[in-house]
Structure formats: structure tokens, C-alpha cells
Amino acid sequence: MTQFLIRRFIRHPNDTQNPATRTAYGNLASGVGMACNLMLCLGKLLAGTLFGSIAIMADALNNLSDASSNVVSLIGFRLAAKAPDAEHPYGHARYEYLAGLVVSVTILGIGFSLLKESVVKAFHPTPVVFSWLSVGVLAASILVKLWMSGFNRTIGRTIGSETLMATAADSRNDVLTTGAVLISTVVCSLTGWARLDGIMGVAVAAFILWSGWGLVMDTLSPLLGESPSPELVEHIEQTVMGYPGVLGMHDLMVHDYGPGHQFASLHIEFPAETDPLKAHDVIDNIENDFIKRDGLQVTIHYDPIVTTDAAVGVLRTRLMEKARQLDPCLSIHDLRIVPGDTHTNVLFDLEFPAGYTGNKDEMLAAMCQFVHEQDPKYSCVVKVEQSYASAAHEK
């Protein structure tokens, strides 16, 4: 069914870098989600009202919140597809993140409302009338939600959408909550313990709140400026290091302006004796290849590294090893040795990961002491930097 819908409604399904294709996928997922959730909501409202089950009513409102989330997602995809303009030269793709945040907050609001009603029902229970209609509606809901979870996961992975991946997770969670309501309905009919209906409603509401809070944090993180994923960092490193003449890279920064709108900057090290025109040509090729293959706009700074001076090479190796001994997440780069009449300056950058909890002053003092031990004439000049990518991958 998923592939049939994709073939039917997506004109160029494999061109996922095209904003129009991405929007078409988003529209399809949102439209299917709205139709399914409204159908389930109406069926559960009918069953819950006829047979007096607060748990089924709670599950119906959960589907209604899912339908409203689909509406917000649809609006988000359409706004995110707007072309860059003078006021927003980086595009409008972050609207998709904002849509996800609105969806998450809506889920929290529904959860609090359901929790209040369910607590009242738990303390003041009313009889629940068993009906095969209720059982049928809940069983059908489980099957539909299982399919929706796979459907949204497939499209989410295809276009790299965190919003749709969150929707897939929400559908999977709905399978669990609806299953709990189904069990409650059956147990209430067998035992006559009407209070269980309210208790199960509380459980469903609590689960909705827990899921909603998780979705809030997931959608808020990219808006605040989260670090790039280790997979992306590793991909960038492996790509860059695969070009001729590249000795290393550092100072990687990735800025996320929404799905498909990422910008990166980094420093690349070349041997100082390399012809600048050749180094520039390699840099141009790297930047162009990232655009063509990954849709990633990369800006590269050229760092010349002295490779003909044995003293520089030996000291660089020793300093890198010392930094790893002090803390594996530390790194150094841009080492230079500048001789003088009375002393020799040793200049380098010492990089700490963001949120470093160790004692930076102690690390800096240990590195400078180590430099002085190599030669009493060495005077240490260190620039302390923060890493904006995973220290485990950045070189």
C-alpha cells in the first residue's frame, strides 16, 4: 500500500533533494494521517459514548490530537518549501521544526486534559458496557496504527524528516495505548471492576504526556542548534580525507537551517610546499562535490602545514600524543615554531569539546609544561578553542 501511494501521488519519488518532491512526500504523509486518524477518532467516540468508556474516549481524543498534528505538519511542509528571500536568505525549512514543536505541545495539552478526566473517573467510576463493537473498533485501530507507523517511517527515512519519524514513533506508541484500552475493556466486562477503566485512562494519559515531552525535546534541539550527528561528521571526514594532498581537517562547524538546508565550514591542512593554486583547486572540487552528492554547502579554509622541518613534525606528534594521554577528547592543530634571539615561540590551538567538565587550566598548564620540557627555550603560545562537532570523530 505504501509503495502504491508513493507511485500514485509522488511525481519524481527518487529526487528527494528536490524541495517540490519533499513537499509532495510531506503532503502525502499528512493527508493519509489526517484521514486515518479522523476515521479512528469518530469510531472510538461512537463506541466510547455508547458504552460509557472513558478509556476509549481518551484514546479517541488521542487520535484527534494526532489528526491536528497532521494538519500542523502539512502547514509546516508547505511553509518550509518557500524559496529563500531577502529577509531569509537561508530559506524557510526550519518551519518543519516549528511544526513539530507545535505538534508536541498540542500532544502535551491533550495529555493533561485526559489525565484530569481519567482521574475523576478513577475515583468516581461508572459501569462500562461491554460491546463487540468496541472490541472491533479498538482492534481495527491497532492494525491501522501499525500500518501508519511503517508508512511514516518509510517516508521519513526517504526524505530525512525528523517530523515524520516522530509521527511514526507516535503511531507505534498509539498501538501500545490502544492495546491497553482493549485489555481494560475486556477485563472490565469479565470482572465488573469499573474503576479499571479510569485507571487505564490515567495510564494512557500519562503515556501521552511522556511521549509528548520526548517529542518536544526532539524538535526543540535542532532549533537551539544541536551538534551534527556522529554519522555526518564521520562522512564529512572520510570524504575530505579522500582527496589528494589533504593531511587533516579541524574546526568543523555545521549549521542546520532545516531539513535539506545545512551549511558547513571547516579547515583543511595541506603541506606548506603545495602549490597554492593546486590546493585551491582541490578545495573547489571538495566544495562542489559536497553540493552535488549531499546537498551540503561547505566553506573551506586552507591551512598550510610545515612538513619539511623535522623539528615541527616531531613536536606535533609528541603534542598530539600528550593531549590524548591527558584526555582522549582533546586535540591540537595549527602548530608553528617561530625562532627568536632569546626564545622560540611554539604556537598551536588546543581544542576542547563543548561542555567539557574537566579542568581546562590544568590541561593547558600540563601542555605548556610538556612543551617546555622538550626545549627550555620553547615558549608556549596557546589558543584555546571549543569544538562544535563530536570530539570522538573530529581530527
pLDDT, one tens digit for every residue, the chain (395 residues):
888 898 888 988 888 777 788 889 988 998 999 999 999 999 888 888 887 777 678 778 778 878 877 888 888 888 888 888 889 998 888 888 888 788 778 778 877 877 887 888 788 876 666 678 778 888 998 999 999 999 999 998 898 787 788 788 778 878 877 887 788 778 877 787 878 878 877 887 888 788 788 878 888 888 888 888 888 999 999 999 999 999 999 999 999 988 778 899 999 999 988 999 999 999 999 999 999 888 899 999 999 988 888 888 899 999 999 999 999 999 999 998 988 888 999 999 999 998 898 899 999 999 999 999 999 999 999 999 999 886 444 44
Q: Are 268 and 395 in contact (CB under 8 A)?
A: no
**38, amino acid identity:** L
Q: What is the pTM of this model?
A: 0.70
Residue carrying the nine cell digits 479498538: 138
41/56 Cα distance (integer angstroms): 10
> What SS3 class is residue 254?
strand
Across the chain, where does the E strand assignment appear? 248-256, 262-271, 297-305, 331-339, 344-353, 378-387
**127, 182, 225, 250 from 121: Cα distances, Å:** 10, 17, 43, 60
Specify the DSSP class assigned to residue 84: P
At 244 the three-state DSSP class reads coil
Task: Specify the pLDDT at position 394.
Answer: 42
Taking the CA atoms of residue 99, residue 105, residue 107 and residue 111 in that order, the dihedral angle to the nearest 10 degrees is 180
The Cα angle at residue 160 between residues 159 and 163, in degrees rounded to 5:
105
- As a whole number of angstroms, the distance between CA 334 and CA 314 comes to 14
The answer to whether 134 and 177 are in contact (CB under 8 A) is no
Pairing status of strand 344-353 against strand 262-271: unpaired
Q: What is the pLDDT of residue 393?
A: 41
Using a 10 angstrom Cβ sphere, with 0-12 exposed, 13-18 middle and 19 or more buried, the burial of residue 277 is exposed
Virtual CA dihedral for 280, 285, 286, 290, nearest 10 degrees? Answer: 140
Residue with cell 500500500: 1
